[in-house]
């Protein structure tokens, strides 16, 4: 929004500089009433023509054009940077969503089946206590990783929503 305001201000300055290409010739008519004067009323005519050649304001006009071009270029660069940031956030969101889905749908059921199978084997005497404790530790690590994946997905989604809302011109 600030870049857009700078472009508008530079455009106004450019138009002002362009308006100085034309000379402001002024004509005037004056009447003074003075009772002590001869005749009581004095009339006057005036004409004012600015001096200077056709290129008198050229430097100011070129500077205004350069300022306008710089403001437009800055606005374009900011738009490109914002688009790149949105693309990066979108990719991060997709990666976080994929990671969460893999944990919840693929690895979760397999890890749970493995733990259940080892607990059954332990109850029947086919596995040692160390094996059971190791399987439970692995399950807890999986749960921790799943929580991290959900947190990463929620954070990426929040950043994406904030960026999209800001890019649409709404305050965060």
Query: Which is more confident, 38 or 116?
Result: 116
161 has a pLDDT exceeding 80: yes
* Domain assignment present for 26: yes
Domain range for residue 80? 2-167
Tokens standing for residue 136: 């439970």
Whether residue 172 lies inside any domain: the answer is no
Q: For residue 14, which of 85, 81, 64, 67 has the smallest C-alpha distance?
A: 64
Q: What is the pLDDT of residues 11-59, one digit of tens each?
A: 888 888 877 777 778 888 887 777 666 667 777 888 887 776 666 677 7
Q: What is the per-residue pLDDT for 99?
A: 95
Burial of 72 (0-12, 13-18, 19+ CB in 10 A): middle
Question: What is the domain count for the chain?
Answer: 1
């Amino acid at each position: 929004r600030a870049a857009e305001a700078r472009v508008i201000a530079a455009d106004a300055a450019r138009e002002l500089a362009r308006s100085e290409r034309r000379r402001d010739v002024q004509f005037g008519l004056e009447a003074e009433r003075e009772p002590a004067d001869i005749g009581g009323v004095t009339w006057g005519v005036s004409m004012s023509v600015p001096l200077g050649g056709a290129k008198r304001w050229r430097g100011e006009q070129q500077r205004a054009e350069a300022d306008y071009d710089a403001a437009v270029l800055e606005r374009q660069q900011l738009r490109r940077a914002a688009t790149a940031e949105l693309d990066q956030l979108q990719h991060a969101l997709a990666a976080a969503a994929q990671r969460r889905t893999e944990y919840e749908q693929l690895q979760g059921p397999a890890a749970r089946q493995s733990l259940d199978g080892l607990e059954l084997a332990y109850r029947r005497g086919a596995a040692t206590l160390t094996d059971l404790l190791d399987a439970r530790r692995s399950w807890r690590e999986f749960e921790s990783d799943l929580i991290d994946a959900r947190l990463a997905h929620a954070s990426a989604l929040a950043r994406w929503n904030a960026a999209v809302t800001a890019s649409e011109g709404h305050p965060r």
